[in-house]
Structure 1
Amino acid sequence: MPKTEVAINCRSGCGACCIAPSISSAIPGMPTGKPAGVRCAQLTSDNACAIFGRPERPEVCVRLRPNPTMCGNSRGHALGYLADLEQLTRAAKECIDDFRSW
């Protein structure tokens, strides 16, 4: 997040950050992580994290801070933004992997 942007509170019922991105860390119920676009096993039916604040929550989740750019003013914006970010980081990783294989 840009240094000028401040973290905001999560939007109740959103859960976009628990659906859109891939997570490579183990998650209770998902020992090999989760693919992009798949609901986290710890996401409740009302889109809340069942392990929020608990030690088994992955570090990547703990460090994620919602911000206005990522969250926008709707769940749809957040899902789209995070899906786009996932695609961009996947493409960048593939380029790096290709470069390393030369």
Structure 2
Amino acid sequence: MINRFFRKYLSIIFILATFMGVFHHHNDLKQHNDCKICTVQSSLAHADTPVEIHYLTDLEIVNESIITLLASLHVKKIDNQLNARAPPQIS
């Protein structure tokens, strides 16, 4: 009985801790050293090694337009010489 209660208790704690980490964010999209959840997440994700973090707002997005000829987009009709629409006749 105690073992079952202990498993349920640990599973609930694990699920709540996971949800706290998943739904945790700051409005400035930066990691804060004074936040306990940020500290735990960075320790687990970076294996206690200092890593420089790049967010998508920091990256420069470069768009290149792809120009293709209209003739290359058309699919050429392939003529099938068999024109078979039924299974082969077995005699």
Same fold (TM over 0.5): no
TM-score (norm 2): 0.23
Normalising by the residue count of structure 1, what TM-score does the alignment of the two structures yield? 0.21
Structure having greater relative contact order (Cα 8 Å, sep ≥ 6): 1
